[in-house]
Each structure stands twice: as structure tokens, then as C-alpha cells.
Amino acid sequence: MEFMTKFEAVILLNPEISTKVRSDIINSFNDLISDSSGKIVDNEDWGLRDLSYKIENFSKAFYNFFQIEIDGKKIEDIKKTLTQNENFIRHIFVKVDNHQELPTKLNYEKK
């Protein structure tokens, strides 16, 4: 039995990669989720943002936001593969009851 639960994911990527590599990485992330029988409801690109403290000596990072439906047990394996990749600086998965409407407030304020 598979229980599809709703998650939000935020990913920080290495700021020094080119745009082509970056889109490849995001595609690979999409494949990771679709391989583990999940689906991406919506996604959002927050672009290059300043970090409020240095992570791995980077002062900036690419932010990507995803709304996901997936079986919760499979997230552990996804996290494992993300930590092995050097281009992922940081990632977080948050369980939510309902997906909120986009755009998020963070993105909205920037404009």
C-alpha cells in the first residue's frame, strides 16, 4: 500500500555552476522523485539569493522550491542521494497538510 503525502522541498544549489548544469541538476531531481513513484505538483525558482551566513564558503546560492506528493518512506533514500551530490549545498523536506497557492510570500516581496 502506498500513502501519498504532501511535502514541500527547498534545495540550495552551488552558485558557481552554469545555467545548463543547473537545469540538468534540477531535471535529475525531478527524475529522482518520479522514479520513486512520486510526482511534482508545482515548482518555483527563487533564483540566486544572498545567504545570511556562509555555507561551505559560499555567500550565495540558487534556491529552488518544489511541491511534491510522494510516499513518505521513500524520502529517506532521496535525502541520501542528495547528500552524496556535491552541488546540493542544503535541502529540506517539510510535511504539509495542504499545498499553498503560489507565488510564495518570499518571492512576492522581492518584486
Partner 1 sequence: MKKNNKKFKSRGRDENKNSPFEDRRKFCPFSQKNSPKIDYKDIKLLSRYVSEKGKITPSRITNVSRSKQLELSKAIKRSRFLSLMSFTTKSFY
Of residues 19-58, those binding partner 1 (CB under 8 A):
51-53, 55
Q: Which is nearer to partner 1, 4 or 92 (CB)?
A: 92
* Residue 1 near partner 1 by CB under 8 A: no
Residue 15 makes CB contacts below 8 A (sequence gap 6+) with 48, 58, 60, 61, 62
Task: Please give the Cα distance from 81 to 5 (Å, whole number).
Answer: 20
Query: Of 69, 63, 65, whose CA–CA distance to 7 is shortest?
Result: 69
| Binding test (CB under 8 A) with partner 1, winner from 4, 21, 48, 106 | 106
Footprint on this chain of partner 1 (rule: CB under 8 A): 10, 12, 51-53, 55, 61, 65, 90, 92, 94, 100, 104-106, 109
